[in-house]
Amino acid sequence: MTEKKAGMEEKLWRKAGLTDSEYALLTKHMGREPNVVELALYAQMWSEHCGYTHTRPLFKHFPTTGPRIVQGPGENAGIVDIDDDEVLTFKLESHNHPSAIAPFQGAATGVGGIIRDILAMGAYPIASLNSLHFGHPGDRGHTRWLISEVVHGIGEYGNCVGVPTVGGELRFADAYKGNPLVNAMCVGYMKKSEIKKAIATGVGNSLMIVGNLTGRDGMGGASFASKDLEEENDDDRGAIQVGDPFMEKLLIEACLEVFQEDYVVGVQDMGAAGILSSSVETASKAGNGVEIDVALVPKREEAMRPEEVMISESQERMLLIVKKGMEEKVNKIFHKWDLHAVVIGHVTDDGMYRVLEDGKTVGEVPVWSLMDAPTYELVGEAPAHLQRTQSFKNSDVDVPDDLNQVLIKLLGSPDICSKEWVYRQYDHRVQMNTVVKPGSDASILRIKGRDKGVGVTMDSNGRYCYLNPRTGSQSVVVEAARNLVVSGAEPIAITDGLNFGNPETPDVYYQLEQAIMGLSEACRALNTPVIGGNASLYNQTPEFGAIYPTPIVGMVGLVKSLDHTTTMEFKAEGDHIILLGTTREELGASEYLDQIHGMVMGDVPELDLEEEAQTQAFILKAIRAGLLSSAHDLGDGGLAVAIAESCIKGELGAHIELDANIRADALLFGESQSRFLLSVTPDKADQLMDMAAEMGVEAATIGKVSTDKKLSIKNNETQLIDRDLALCADAFNTGFDKMMKTDG
């Protein structure tokens, strides 16, 4: 009998996602064997998704402080100072596994969840962004369905809740075919005096659940997101939340009204692990205990077990720590918005996490033990593919005979072509703050009542990080900063999303560790600290293996005056076109090598972080001096693609004369770093060039803007590109639409 019972218990904890050693540790913490409720508590809080068991030891590398940092990692979202007693709060979260199983709801609830993180800081959400990664859309079946459903889910939720979706990115590679990535970011605005914290202070204060009812949707979502993604099954579908954006809109308004009063001492979103994680985290920060009676929780389903109530991830719910005696006042405000606000427990002074059912204790563990998830510092090994991929030499591929056709193909390729098919489904004008809309390098929003704005962007490059995790991750940070700088925004800080495969394998752990080192180094060089983020591991499937290592950077910047807002398109005939930076003979890791030669090979382009910082400082100074007509960074597809994009956006041509002594494909399509494309009126050109010389920035005038609607690029009198702008524009503007069309 005893042996049978032990076997059943072992099966239970392993099924819950705990290892034998973890189970032994929790029994040591408790001084006894856990019951089913207590086992569920540990399984969720010690999951990778909640406990950051493999990533937490590596976070020590991140720079997290700076002159504008008000709140770093450790809260629902980080906070930065934007002057005038005003602050921004922002963060990103992943919803990868849910979106792979149920893409519409997975993406929609990802948006809803990150909005509530911002709301929990006391801020009004002003912008939403997303970073999406899929298999190549040439897969006319499942992948195209995933893209449609994810985009629909983001648009449906964001449009209904009234938060503009203003930017992001969409990338494709076979590495994401079995496990797409859906990362959502939100930015909020508030006065510094309005900041809220997730802390359960005041013994006797009430825990109130506000917003939606609790059901079985999202059951075990935290542990579901902390394991390899297996093929779709009914158990997985139980971990998918269901969203209601109209309820979320009411929740936003009700919470912000309550925050105006002196009723609430702590706030926490109910995300992963629901009531459990939100209450444990708030109690832990205060050094207190809590007790919660699951019978008091408003439910939408009958006969829910205590552990189901505690770990449910039903959406549109928040936890408020309310001053004793103020409960009815809080309830009155929420009732006005047709929402419930119910006392489900109280803050205690004994440091215990106590779960009751109708007043009877059904689970009791130390709060600190739930927050003390074991961590794992492993030894990584460089992936075997690096020896093969880094052996690539430029001479391994020939220069194509028709470079015009290469340009057209790149402009229409999935990673480069216009994503208007996506963002035309998003309402980016709601709230009436969007100054620069999606489709530019970064989006710019005005701060109402002020002559200033905020720049926002999300960026990644899984291919770069696959080929060189450390330098590739540095490149992601500097690319995000470039996008802000060319838009007139001074980069302030980042939030990161760490999307990787199974960290228990040495090659993935190597990628994770190297990526974090690379992110940290670039953030220090650009003075953009990490103020929060998310780790999503175990992104892999038995059929397709692990995804590319994909750190995603969400970055915000300050536009000190809206007069500084700059966009990528050429503005007027006769403007001088200026190239900043050095073009090297680099083909490795490029979009050109992937799309034209079918090779994901080579090392990533050389990156000098000091040079990068210096060049970005020059651009920002030039913009603030009113010298630039346009600014655009050189990224995927290199120089020729950047010129074409500025022409297409401005509906103007360009005549370019180069004098480089490198092979033509590297000159046109190589992705050498720290390069920018500027245009300037003739009367300001000399002043700009003098400023570049003074600051030690390499700059060369390479051509002029024209009205003949042609793109011409010569090198040493040899014609490399000669194309009508209409052909370029057609490839760029229709490429994605063609990919998403149905067969026949």
Instruction: Just list the catalytic residues.
Output: 49, 95
The one-letter amino acid code at 72 reads G
* CB distance 519 to 513 below 8 Å: no
Please report the beta strands in 273-358, taking only residues with DSSP state E, as ranges in sequence order: 289-293, 317-322, 340-348, 352-357
Which residue in this structure is represented by tokens 């009542």? 449
User: Tokens 């220069």 map to which residue?
Assistant: 399
Instruction: Return the bridge partners of 365, or none.
Output: 353
Q: Which residues of 283-305 are buried (b: 16+ CB within 10 A; e: fewer)?
A: bbbbebbbbbbbebbebeeeebe
Contact 182, 150 (CB under 8 A): yes
C-alpha–C-alpha distance, residues 639 and 657, integer Å = 12
3-state secondary structure 677-690: EEEECHHHHHHHHH
DSSP 29-59: HHTS---HHHHHHHHHHTSHHHH-TTTGGGG
φ and ψ of 484, to 5 deg: -75, -45
Q: Which of 553, 426, 403 is nearest to 478 (CA)?
A: 553
Give the Å distances, CA to CA, from 477 to 51, 200, 547, 559, 588.
25, 35, 20, 19, 19
Name the one residue in this structure whose structure tokens are 């739930």: 370
Strands 181-191 and 86-94: antiparallel
3-state SS class at 515: helix
Q: Which residues pair with 184 in a beta bridge?
A: 93, 130
Decide if 488 contacts 201 (C-beta within 8 A).
Answer: no
Sign of CA dihedral 482, 488, 492, 496: negative
CA distances from 240 to 215, 302, 313 (A): 12, 19, 8
Nearest to 701 by CA among 578, 570, 575, 574: 578
Q: What is the C-alpha to C-alpha distance for residues 115 and 90, in angstroms, rounded to an integer?
A: 9
Strand partners, 718: 715
Q: Are 146 and 180 in contact (CB under 8 A)?
A: yes
Pairing type for strands 124-134 and 165-172 reads: parallel
| CB contact at 8 A, 652 and 705 | yes
Which of 70, 72, 71 lies closest to 62, judged by CA?
A: 72
- Measure the CA–CA gap between 538 and 549, rounded to whole angstroms: 11
Q: Give the count of beta carbons closer than 10 Å to the beta carbon of residue 250.
A: 20
Q: What is the DSSP letter of 647?
A: H
Residue from 206, 99, 210, 219 nearest 154 by CA: 99
Tell me the HSE value of 83 on the side-chain side, using a 13 A CA sphere.
Answer: 12
> Which residue is listed with tokens 């994605």?
736
Helix, strand, coil percent values for the chain (each to nearest 5)? 40, 25, 35
Angle at alpha carbon of residue 544, lines to 542 and 545, rounded to 5°: 65
3-state secondary structure string, 450-491?
CCCEEEEEEECCHHHHHHCHHHHHHHHHHHHHHHHHCCCCEE
